[in-house]
Structure 1
Amino acid sequence: MCRSIRTLFNFEPGATEDEIRASALQFVRKLSGFARPSRVNEEAFDRAVDEVAEAARRLLASLETSQPARDRATEAAKARAKARARYA
């Protein structure tokens, strides 16, 4: 799917509005095939991003887990190390 969409659930600190919106934007871009929609499709595209972001907010708010929240900085460092090892 979209490699730039990141897992947003069960992190401390929680997902920001910007992260949710960015994930929704990437999802709609993938579905539509548009990196940037034409003027005639812009309203539909923006509405879809808003709706996907709202659905993501509701999903994140309703999910539960017994696992401890992961630390963003630690997980980011692990991802960078993994990427360096893969491309070294």
Structure 2
Amino acid sequence: MCRNIKTLFNFAPPATEQEVRAAALQFVRKLSGFNAPSKANQAAFDAAVGEVTDAARTLLASLVTQAVPRDRDVEAARARERSALRFAPRT
């Protein structure tokens, strides 16, 4: 579940609202143990996702670095390369 949470800080272009919310959703899913909560827990689940999204947005806006922002396309290519090596068929 948590493998889907990606680093969002120091990228060009910056993380979108959808990316921050998706990371928050994955985090709440991991904490709660629910992939999809029951109707009885839906309100609490949604509230938690909203609060974690707000906290993540605040964190990302507050962080500073001297490093040059990373390029999303380059990082995505590196991730695909690592995945191809990791899941390559064994001979």
TM-score w.r.t. the length of structure 1 is 0.98
Displacement of 1:87 in angstroms is 1.2
Distance in structure 2 (CA, Å) of the matches to 1:82 and 1:4: 15
Deviation (angstroms), 1:86:
1.2
Gaps of 5+ in 2: none
Q: State how 1:54-73 maps to structure 2 within 5 Å.
A: 54-73=54-73
What secondary structure does 1:59 align onto? helix
Report the Cα offset of residue 67 of structure 1.
0.4
Identity of aligned residues (%): 64
Matching residue of 2:39: 39
TM-score by length of 2: 0.95
Map 1:20-35 onto structure 2 (within 5 A).
20-35=20-35
Distance in 1 (CA, whole Å) between partners of 2:82 and 2:5 is 17
Q: Which has the greater radius of gyration? A: 2
Runs (5+) with no aligned partner, structure 1: none
Alpha-carbon distance between aligned partners in 1 of 2:47 and 2:28, rounded to the nearest angstrom: 10
Residue 9 of structure 1 aligns to a residue whose secondary structure is coil
The separation in 1 between residues aligned to 2:65 and 2:2, in whole angstroms, is 25
CA RMSD of aligned residues (A): 0.9
